Structure formats: C-alpha cells, structure tokens
Chain A
Amino acid sequence: MTSMEFSPQTIDFTAIMPIIIISAGILVTLLLPFAAKGRAKIINPLVALIVLLAAFISSARIWDLGRASFDGMYTADNATLFASFIFIIVAFITVIAITARYCPFLRSPDGEGLFASPEVFPLMLTVVVGAIVMSASRNLILTFLAIETLSIPLYVLAGMNLSSERSKEASLKYFLTGAFASGFLAYGISLIYGAVGKLGYHAILDACSPTAADYTLYAGLALVAVGFGFKVALVPFHAWVPDVYQGSPALISGFMASLVKAAGFTAILRFFGEGIVPLYGIWWVAIAIIAALTMTVGNLMALNQIVLKRLLAYSSIAHAGYLLLAVLIIGKEWSEKGVTAGAPLGDAMQCAFFYLAGYVFAIIGSFAIIWWLTPSDKEGALLEIDDVRGLNDRHPLHAALFALFLFSLAGFPITAGFLGKFFLFASALSHGFILLVVFALLNAVLSAYYYLKIIVAMYMKSAPEHASLCEEPSPNPWIYAVVWTCTLATLWLGIIPASILGLLGSVSVGG
C-alpha cells in the first residue's frame, strides 16, 4: 500500500457510486415530507425504492471489475458487491412491506409498528449505507464508523413503535449493548494501532507474525472480536437479542436479523480472512469454541420458547453459530495458501454467502408472516405458538408459506436452508473440522424440533376458542408481493442453486 498523491481524480467514484446514490436518497427522503405534506406517505417509500434500485444497478455495473477506492481503504470487489445485493434486496423488501401500511386503497395489518413517521425510510437507507461500507472496508477506522452508521439508525428503528413499551425497551437495550460493544471495538482498535501503527487490513496482515508473540496486538484482536461478537450476537454476547427482536416491530426484527447478520459476517470474514489470517493458529480454538457454544445455546434456549418472535430470535443466534464455521474455513484455507489479491474467494466465502442468501429470505419471510397475522388490538411481541394453532384451517396459504420458511430455517430439502447447511458443513468437513460438523449436525436436528413444533401447531391442532390472530389478514397486494418474493427466493435457491453458485464462483478478492 503506497500512499499516492491525493487529488479528486484519484477517487474512484464508480466504486463508491452505490453509497453516494443511497446517501443522496437519505437526504431526499428526509426532506421530501416537508414539501410533499400528505402525499409523502406514498412518495417517500417510492423514492426509497427507486434509490435502492439505482444503487443495485450501479453495483451490478461494477461487478467483476474489482474496483477499489481511497487507497484500498474501500474495496468494491465481488464479495462486497454480492453482500451489497443482499443488503439492497433486504431493504427493498422491507420498504415494500412497510409501505403496505401506507397503501391508500387497502387496509393493511396494523397490529404493531405504526410507522407513522416518514423518517423510517432515511433511517433504513442509512443502515444500508453502513452495511455496504462495512462489507467493503479494509481499514479498521472505516469498519468502526460503518458499524456505528449501521447501528445507530437501528436503535431508533427498534423503538419506532412509540406506543409500545416493549419497543422502547428494545430500543434502549439495543442501544446500551451496542454502545458497550462499540467500546470494546474502539479499545481493541486502539490497541491494534498501538501495536502495529497501522489500521489497514493489509498492513495488519503484514504485521501479524505467528512466531513473535505480541500481546498488545492479541489483546486488541480479542477485543475487536468481542465487539464483532456483540454485533452478530455470538454466545456469550447474545443476551440482548431475544428482548430486542421481541420488542421491535416485526418487520424491523426481520430487517435486523437478516441485514445486520449478513453485514456483520461479511465484515468478520474480511477482517479474519484478509487481516489476521496469519494468526489463525492462535484464534481458531477460540472461534471454534464460540461457534459450538453459539449453536448449542441458541438452539437449547429456543426449545422452550412459546413466543414466536423470541423463538426466531434464539434460532437466529444458532444460525450465527453455523456461519462461524465459514470463518474457520476461510482461516484454514488462507493461512495455508496465503492470501493473494485477485484469487477466487474459495469455498468459505461461497458457502457463507449462499447460506446468508438462503437464511435472509427465510427469516424476513417468517417475521413478515408474524407481522401479517398479528391482530390490530394485540402486540406482535406477544404472539405465541398457541395462537397459530389450527392456522391451516383458517388461513391455509399463510400456514403453508410460514411452514416453508420454517422448513428452510430448519434445513429441510428443496429449500435454500438445506443446501446452505449442506454446502457449509460439507466444506467444513473437507477442511477437517469433523468434531465441529458433528456438533453442528446434532444442533440442526435439535433445531428441527422447535421449528416442527410450530408447524405441528399450525397443521395438527385445532384452533383455540377465542382466536387471538387477525381474523382477516389484509389482502394487501404489497404484503403478498413481499411474502411471495421470499417464498420464490427460498425455493429458487433450494432447487436451482447453480445460478447463484455460478455467480459466487466468480467472487474474488479485489486487487
């Protein structure tokens, strides 16, 4: 990394075009309500959707080009771009689902999350910018700021349902743990800077030497890992997840469970893979133990949950545990081969991204269904398994789609979840993590129990006396569009994975 003469011409604007577009969108959606008054309800989400579409296109245009900007600090390689696609699609889906509320010609489910404030759109776009920068960053300062840019709007979004005490509680809890995590991260980064004198991942890579022990560096790395652990909710840094996911409006929970996890893991893979991979011999044990703990604790805690959102929250913790396998694979692969610019990302990234893509649609779909079914006089935070008993008799379509998403999360064949787990575990096995894979398989079986519990309740039990579900789930076309998109994506990834795998095969580390 040579420091070159700086001038505006040295900035590669095509590389950062997606975030420029979305940033402009943030300002427009923020100011538009003042100009458009009442019509902002329709115009604002429309602008957000157009902006996301433009960002998607501008990302697609630089696919395979391996652009980097700001002296390698920001890299728009294919890994970044694929992650950006996931973030943008997730945001797109969520915006549409939220828009369902604003839809003038049909009533929409008002159970929770009265998104009366148009600020929800600029905040969501800010989260997307944070996520994209997080996945593109190769510098700890930028990573830190990106994580904050992602988190702060989320604290607000979690508390968006101003009429709900639980939502406020979720917001506060998320904020406090988030601030705590940022503290760890910042302290870790400062220790790394103290030890290495640099913050770029490549510089850290060069400075990392497995032979000469540098305990300041190790302490810094450990603290940074803890900070990341909080963000993607690894055990033992997971305690905030159930309360936050339960209290937040369901669509926002889905948004957090999918986008934040995807962004966090992309950043983790980049930092561990491109930054501290020479120290693989030191960190792999810790990561392996955390992975085992995360899956097991997540699944065990989910077993006895009766509130649906809480159950999904714990299951999302377990999924983070499986995804940690990818970090181990990438560490092993690259510590043996060495990282070279332009090399294919290899198994680990491919598995992780495929898993993420599958997971994202299933989890958003599940939360969207919960949101859809919640009656207007009840808080979705309290929707229990008992409430969906006999759902098949009343709303067969909803039951079927919900079951499909749960099957995908559990990893049953023909869904994306199955292939995601299959590729990930197979790759881990071929890299020699036999014990961990056995552990993960046992966990997957364990998780099937609680997913099936919901499905059994929906199909094999009779409806409760007084239905606490929405009698007539809104036939709003927007929400149909969202749920069907998730369904098709789940099936598409599960049945014809080659299309995505082909795309991922060309994912490579940027120069």
Chain B
Amino acid sequence: MAISFEIVFFGVFAGIAVILAIMMLSVKSPVHAALCLVGVMIMLAILYLMLHAYFLSVVQIVVYAGAVMVLFLFVIMFFYSPGASDPSRMSVHFTHIAGAIILAVILLAVITGSFLLSGNVSLTEKPSAAQMTDIEKPIAETSEAPLTEETSRMIEKQNPQLVGRMLFTKYLLPFELTSLLLLAAMVGAVVLARRSPPAEAGSAGGDGND
C-alpha cells in the first residue's frame, strides 16, 4: 500500500514537472518561462523529498529557486528596457509578486514538511561520538551497495552531514572541478555579454586594432 501511494505521488509530481517543462518551452514571455522553470525545480525538490533526501530537497529550493529568481530579474532587465511600451510589463509585475508569494508558501511547506517527515531530528543536532566514528560506513555503503534498511535509516539521520562528507572526501575531485566549471561559465558570460566592441573593451581588455 505504501508503495502504490508513493507511485501515485511520484506520478503526480513528475507529471506536473513535465507539464511545466513543456510550458516553459512553449510560453512566449520569458518571464513566464522562468516561472515555469521555478515550478519544475520545486517539483524536483518534492521528488527528492520523496526519496528521503531532505537536505538536497531544501538545497534545491533555496539554490535553484533563488538562482532562478535572479535569472528571472536579469531577463526582465535585459528584455524589457525601461520606457518601451510593452503591454506585458504590468502583468510581469503581478506575476512577479504572485510568484514570490507562491514560492514562499511552497518553501515553507517543504521545509516544515521535511522536518515533520524526518522525525524529530533537527539539522543542528550534534552527532554523537558513535556516529562520527561510524561515518565512513554509510558513505561506503551508499556509494557501493544498494540501500539497505539500516543505511537508509542512517541517511535519514545524518543527511546533511552525509552529503557534506561525501562531497569533501570521495567526491572531492568532481566538486573541485565544478568550481572550475562555474568559474569558466561566469567568465564566459561576462565576455559574451560585454556590450562594448572589442576595440573599447576597457583598460584590461586591450584594444582590437593593435
């Protein structure tokens, strides 16, 4: 019974995610598209929640929804230049607020939900000495073997710790590579978005007609 329950929930949320993703591609306004993207991210966060990855789920909301909101603002800045008589400008304003409220509500629901679901464990709970010494064990098991009952219980208990441990030990190299990747993406965005032609690209840039 529990399984069918899970499948139904998965179907609903995954379905909504897919619909939102399609909408993201099909709506004309970039603002609406960004909102749909936020929706997709939230649905994914709910799926993480169902997989008992509470920490990941919260991070998904905070980081993605946050990052996407920034993207959202950039889109408005770039595409709706001030003064242009754009009929969608008013609606942008309202969707913005509506989106913010919806997000806030969902964020609240997810965070409280994650606490409720994970029992009485709080994120700030200090790990006991036994857990600390034993911490390599669940790491090894989650990465090398299918989840056992015991492992998943341990994951539930120390989700953020586990993620942090994995990130900075076993997956240190991918993690560091990601930082390089993000740096390159940032530099690239700056290079491509630079408005002035190369000839006047600032003192550091040098001129194009040497």
Contact = CB atoms under 8 A, between A and B. Distances in A.
Interface of A: 1, 3, 5-6, 11, 16, 23, 26, 30, 33-34, 37-38, 40-41, 69-71, 73-74, 101-102, 104, 110, 114, 116-119, 122-123, 126, 129-130, 133, 139, 141-142, 145-146, 148-149, 152-153, 155-156, 159-160, 162-163, 171, 197-198, 203
Contacts of A145: 174, 177-178, 181
12 contacts: A30-B183, A30-B187, A116-B208, A122-B184, A123-B184, A123-B188, A126-B180, A126-B184, A152-B184, A153-B184, A162-B192, A162-B194
Contacts, number: 122
Contacts of B144: 1, 3, 198, 203
B140 interface: yes
Contact of A197 (B145, B171, B208, B209): B145
Contacts of B139: 3
A72 B122 CA distance: 35
B191 A117 contact: yes
B89 interface: no
Contact of A3 (B170, B184, B198, B203): B170
A162 B194 CA distance: 9
Contact of B187 (A104, A123, A162): A123
Given A38-B203, A114-B208, 10 more contacts: A5-B136, A26-B183, A101-B210, A117-B194, A123-B184, A149-B184, A153-B184, A156-B187, A156-B188, A156-B191
Nearest to A32: B204
Contacts of B201: 116-117
B169 interface: yes
Given A116-B201, A152-B181, A3 B174 contact: no
Contacts of B140: 3
B173 A16 contact: yes
B191 A3 contact: no
A142 B173 contact: yes
B158 to A, nearest CB: 16
Given A3-B140, A203-B144, A119 B181 contact: no
B210 A160 contact: no
- Which has the most chain B C-beta neighbours within 10 Å: A5, A122, A123, A149? A149
A116 B187 contact: no
B155 to A, nearest CB: 14
B199 interface: yes
A198 B188 contact: no
- Top-6 shortest CB links A-B: A156-B188, A116-B198, A6-B169, A3-B140, A33-B204, A116-B208
Contact of B181 (A16, A149, A159): A149
B119 interface: no
Interface string B163-182: 00000011111100110110
A156 B171 contact: no
Interface in B75-97: none
Query: What does DSSP make chain B's interface, helix, strand, loop or mixed?
Result: helix
Given A116-B199, A118-B204, A198-B144, A160 B191 contact: yes
B135 to A, nearest CB: 10
- On chain B, which size bracket covers the interface? 35 or more
Contacts of A73: 173-174
Contacts of B127: none
Nearest to A148: B181
B208 A146 contact: no
Given A37-B203, A122-B187, A160-B191, A74 B173 contact: yes
A369 to B, nearest CB: 22
A197 B146 contact: yes
A1 B145 CA distance: 12
B66 interface: no
B143 interface: yes
A1 B143 CA distance: 11
A73 B175 CA distance: 13
Contacts of B204: 33-34, 37, 40, 118
A163 B197 contact: yes
B174 A142 contact: yes
Nearest to A107: B210
A153 B188 contact: yes
A133 B185 CA distance: 18
B89 to A, nearest CB: 26
A116 B192 CA distance: 12
A3 to B, nearest CB: 4
A133 B206 contact: no
A40 B206 contact: yes
A41 B205 CA distance: 9
A162 B188 contact: no
A118 B197 CA distance: 14
Given A123-B187, A141-B171, A203-B144, A26 B180 contact: yes
B188 A114 contact: no
Given A118-B204, A123-B187, A197-B145, A162 B197 contact: yes
Contacts of B188: 119, 123, 152-153, 155-156
Contacts of A104: 210
A118 B203 CA distance: 11
